[in-house]
Structure 1
């Protein structure tokens, strides 16, 4: 399609930038919005009901001002619970993010695979169903970590990565010598893939769904009619002020092409 579609990426934090990066590489000319619900970060510690409520509220609020053509829920935890509610409310394509279990099972040579995700994602029945469907012949290790999400969040905001804390989180897998594949089952984790690799040198393959999501977005855009052509400024939305806003925005202007940070008031 030649027209600029307005595409919203949503996460509780900045992990969704790993998905946005893949979509931007494939489709550089669209109008991009990114919303992170930092007031509720991290989603992995919240109830399913609250995650659904907040995701709907943020997406509805943004859609009122910027008519959306497609929404990417760039969060594994949210995607396991919010997609039906979003698809019931919106009549536009909704793209979720789920752990890349099928490609991991296909690529692993030892069939010993680690699923690295949030505490919320690893306990979802949806994930167990994916494992049963695509990886029943594999040994799947699950590790749910909030600490790794925080480390990735700090990195993209300009802080150094605490390798000692990272190593401690992954220590349980370090001696599993035939663990050759790790599924990065949280969108934050591709942001610290290099550091994870240092801690797990035996792992040959790190798998995340970013590239597949980009292809899915491109496919869906071919069959939609763009709702609004007025807005072209790429914006980031947050749900509460935070201490390093100026530093954060400068980094994102340079690295990701966003021009303004907007506080989203859900009570208005």
Structure 2
């Protein structure tokens, strides 16, 4: 019997957890947050890869999950090869949902809203070339939205004026009708982003696609779910009272703070 381990730089991966738990409520899901090195979009690549591999492999040895979900676009674009070499279990990554956004768009103008690192990587260039060659793709990188999502789950009100300022380049695009939430933190601000951009703009993320991939691997592995409750593990700052309450609602109990590499 086993479990699923989700990993992110902070709480953004909780947006993926929601989809996974909805699809597989019988499976224990553990969560590892690398708060000490947040935000990943501003880390040097070598530092990011080394830290991810160290943290995830250490916790995998302790928890022996059936699979790992790297619920972070930045880490997925950089660390997956090293993680898959280091682990004997499946590792699922997250990629920006450019393909479904391009398919949904009627105007041919879509946007990628992600971290600064994700919007400028060659990996993203390839996704656009492969899945949205017929679209005009506006790229908007923001670390401010990552921090706003973290603060929201810690009980702080979202600053609407700051959100308007961050999204101003998209508000100027009259033909825009689909926005890719290319960071797992951003669906945590879906309601607020939707209110700013308006009802004609579709917001697209990768949560349901990741849940489907988890389902495929669960069926292939034939491993049975365990009975334990999901745990929340973190480096750096431990959860505030507000965040601890949110985590409990997600089926996660704070387990331990672990040392960052």
CA contact (8 A) 2:51 2:260 kept: no
Query: What residue is the counterpart of 1:104 in the other structure?
Result: 101
Q: Indicate the SS of the match to 2:170.
A: helix
- Give the counterpart of 1:149 among 146, 151, 155: 146
- Give the counterpart of 1:258 among 234, 252, 258: 252
State the Cα distance separating 1:228 from its structure 2 match: 9.0
TM-score (norm 2): 0.95
Q: Structure 2 unaligned runs (5+)? A: none
Do structure 1's residue 116 and structure 2's residue 113 form an aligned pair? yes
Do structure 1's residue 31 and structure 2's residue 65 form an aligned pair? no
Do structure 1's residue 133 and structure 2's residue 127 form an aligned pair? no
The 1:182–1:203 alpha-carbon spacing in structure 2 relative to 1, beyond 3 Å, is: farther
Query: What residue is the counterpart of 1:232 in the other structure?
Result: 228
Q: Cα RMSD between the aligned structures?
A: 1.6
Query: What residue is the counterpart of 1:188 in the other structure?
Result: 185
State the Cα distance separating 1:109 from its structure 2 match: 0.3
Q: Indicate the SS of the match to 2:26.
A: coil
Query: What residue is the counterpart of 2:209 in the other structure?
Result: 212
Q: Distance in 2 between matches of 1:9 and 1:247?
A: 21
Query: What residue is the counterpart of 1:248 in the other structure?
Result: 243
Q: Aligned pair count?
A: 261
Query: What residue is the counterpart of 1:80 in the other structure?
Result: 77
Q: Indicate the SS of the match to 1:222.
A: helix
Per-residue CA deviations over 1:28-47 (Å, capped at 9, x if unaligned) read 01111101100000000001
Q: Indicate the SS of the match to 2:232.
A: strand
Do structure 1's residue 177 and structure 2's residue 190 form an aligned pair? no
State the Cα distance separating 1:201 from its structure 2 match: 1.5
Q: Distance in 2 between matches of 1:241 and 1:196?
A: 27
Q: Structure 1 unaligned runs (5+)? A: none
Q: Indicate the SS of the match to 1:195.
A: helix
